[in-house]
Amino acid sequence: MFDSLLIVTIFASVLVVILDSVQSLTAQHELLFDVLEWGFTLLFTVEYVVRLACVRHPWRYATSFLGIVDLLAVLPTYFAFFVPEVQVLINLRLLRSLRIFRILKLIAYVSEFRFLGSALMASRRKITVFISFVVITVAILGSVMYVIEGPGNGFTSIPVSIYWAITTITTVGFGDITPKTDLGRFIASCIMLMGWGILAVPTGIVTSEMTAQRISRSLTKRTCPGCSAQDHDADARFCKRCGTALPAERVD
């Protein structure tokens, strides 16, 4: 129940941050937004302090990802209140907008986020190799387009040409730089078609890892006493290979 109420509170606080950025609403309901903001800030502060008091290793929690997220949920409001001189260095509204990081607190209370995070961590090597391939590809194609098009057509340098290759291969296509030669347009067309396939690769990597993890969670490590087979379904009563009765699942 606490987790469910906290999720609702997080969504409400983020909604207040978003509405507070609308000038017309702020002018009409500035006092209401301030009261709600301090209410949420005090609530998250109490939660953060209580967590530090409950865990066995407070410093380890404070320096963890979730601990930093919890700190970011309350720090901007206090910082802007106690250090008004910060307006000289940074826009106060920009600082207060950091409260949007509260939405990251949902990661601790929604199991699907943790499931997705574990799948991303398990796929990190494959995704790293894929991103490295994409970086090499856009660097080569950007350099080629710099040679073909040249500064006269907007490709003023290799970094600018690589930027164009990235926007093209991701199918974004801002249109601020466009090839003018026939060869350049041909290469651009090939990059666009290549982009369709490239965008699907990381999705497939993560999806396959999520499927594998879901399957592994649905299997048990019970060993068949007849043939020593493992990875049986959680509700299986007999071995799927030899038919021997399986031992009951042990609850640790």
pLDDT tens-digit map of 28-87 = 888 898 888 889 889 889 988 998 998 888 898 888 877 888 887 888 777 777 765 544
Quick check: 236 and 246 in contact, CB under 8 A?
yes
Q: What's the N-to-C CA distance of the chain in angstroms? A: 26
> Options 3.30.70.260, 3.40.50.300, 3.40.50.11060, 1.20.120.350; which CATH number does 2-109 get?
1.20.120.350
pLDDT grade for 251, boundaries at 50, 70 and 90: very low
In angstroms, the CA 202 to CA 196 distance is: 12
Q: What gap in Å lies between CA 139 and CA 133, rounded to an integer?
A: 10
Mean pLDDT for 137-158 is 92
Q: Which residue has the higher pLDDT, 234 or 74?
A: 74
* Cα(99)–Cα(14) distance, integer angstroms: 7
Helix (H) or strand (E) holding 9: helix 2-20
Query: What is 124-219's CATH number, 1.10.287.70, 3.30.470.20, 3.30.1130.10, 3.20.20.140?
Result: 1.10.287.70
Looking at the chain, the whole-number percentage of residues with pLDDT higher than 70 is: 82
Query: 244 or 97: which carries more pLDDT confidence?
Result: 244
Closest-CA residue to 250 (of 217, 219, 214, 220):
220
Q: In whole angstroms, what is the distance from residue 37 CA to residue 33 CA?
A: 6
Amino acid, single-letter form, for residue 120: L
pLDDT value of residue 33: 87
Q: Could you tell me the CA-to-CA distances from 226 to 222, 233, 237, 244 in Å, in that order?
A: 12, 17, 13, 6
Residue 124: pLDDT band (50, 70, 90) is confident
Instruction: Say whether pLDDT at 139 is over 90.
Output: yes
Query: Where in the chain are the domains?
Result: 2-109, 124-219, 221-252
Mean pLDDT of the region 196-223:
72
Q: What is the pLDDT of residue 87?
A: 42
CB atoms within 10 A of CB 113: 13
pLDDT in tens, 158-196: 999 999 999 999 888 888 899 999 999 999 999 999 888
